[in-house]
Amino acid sequence: METEPKYALLVISELNGERGYTHYLVREIPEGSTIDDMITEACKEHVGFDEDSEPVDEDDQNPYYFSSSGEIAAKAGMSREITKAEFDVLNKFI
């Protein structure tokens, strides 16, 4: 029996020089994956995180991921599971 797909709202905080930005993403959660895994990967992808470098762990739970140039940093913000109906609406507008 196939399981119902799950969806997530992910929020990423970006620091780019002196400016800060907030990015909202909606994603389908792949089977066998967690929201925490997804937001970590989204942060890494957002800045082009170099796998050879270490994230800066400010509070031991929510590290900053830096671009290879070191100019852009991303940190996981709020994340939560959402319904299919919420996903459909949010996916149209963000």
Structure tokens at 12: 């990423």
Q: What pLDDT does 84 receive? A: 96
Which residue positions in the chain have pLDDT lower than 70?
1, 50, 52-53, 58-60
The pTM is what? 0.83
Closest CA to 27 of 12, 39, 9: 9
Give first-to-last CA distance, the chain, whole Å.
Answer: 32
- How many other C-beta atoms can be found within 10 angstroms of the C-beta atom of residue 87? 19
Q: What pLDDT does 3 receive? A: 82
d(CA 76, CA 43): 7
d(CA 32, CA 54): 25
Residues 6 or more apart whose CB falls under 8 angstroms from that of 10 comprise 24, 25, 26, 27, 35, 38, 39, 42, 76, 77, 79
Q: What pLDDT does 90 receive? A: 95
Q: What pLDDT does 52 receive? A: 63
Q: What pLDDT does 60 receive? A: 61
